[in-house]
Amino acid sequence: MIWKSYLKLDNWVISNLQNLYLWLLDRTGVYVATLMFVVYVGGLSPDIIRGRFPWWNCALTVLIGLVVILPYLKQDRGEIKRYNAFAIEIEGLIIRHAFNGLQIGIGVGSAIAGDYLSAAGCLTILVYQYLWVIKIRDRNKKPFFEEKKELELVRWL
């Protein structure tokens, strides 16, 4: 019962994040790997803000930067089918759900302990983990701000 509820929530998060990314892609052309790296660094921001950024986080950040080069290159070269096949494969892995559970547990524990900054960092890292399962497509260029549609006023006589 709990597993089925989690999977429904997981699918809902993936679907909404997918829609958000495609909206952003159409308007800015940003690659999903770029978002991965930015969101990962954002997840480390609580440690940066507190001035507690250990050396191993620097090494891990460089490693994550090197890892996200792979999806960046696939999207840059137009290998959409290969990229999406990889995302679908990751989506089905049990280990992904274990890492999601770990981030949720640490985030809830941090919130209970009153460390809301760390809880926000955990939520950001959870979004990073979800970005790995986003599927991509070719960009359909659209203006960032939609043009305002004027309404016709109808006068009743």
144 falls within a domain: no
Looking at beta carbons, which pairs linking 35-42 to residues 24 or more positions away fall under 8 Å? 35/131, 36/64, 36/68, 36/71, 36/128, 36/131, 36/132, 37/64, 37/65, 37/68, 39/124, 39/125, 39/127, 39/128, 39/131, 40/64, 40/68, 40/125, 40/128, 42/124
Q: What is the mean pLDDT of the chain?
A: 86
pLDDT tens column, 17-60: 999 998 888 888 888 989 999 998 888 888 778 877 777 777 88
Q: What total number of domains does the chain contain?
A: 1
What is the pLDDT averaged over residues 140-145?
Answer: 73
Asked if the structure places residue 117 within a domain, the reply is yes
Tell me the residue range of the domain where 96 lies: 13-131
* Domain-located, residue 68: yes
Tell me the pLDDT tens digit for each residue of 71-93. 888 888 989 899 999 999 999 89
Question: Does residue 60 form part of some domain?
Answer: yes
Residue 147 within any structural domain of the chain: no
Would you say residue 140 lies in a domain? no
Residue 150 covered by a domain: no
Residue 34 lies in a domain: yes
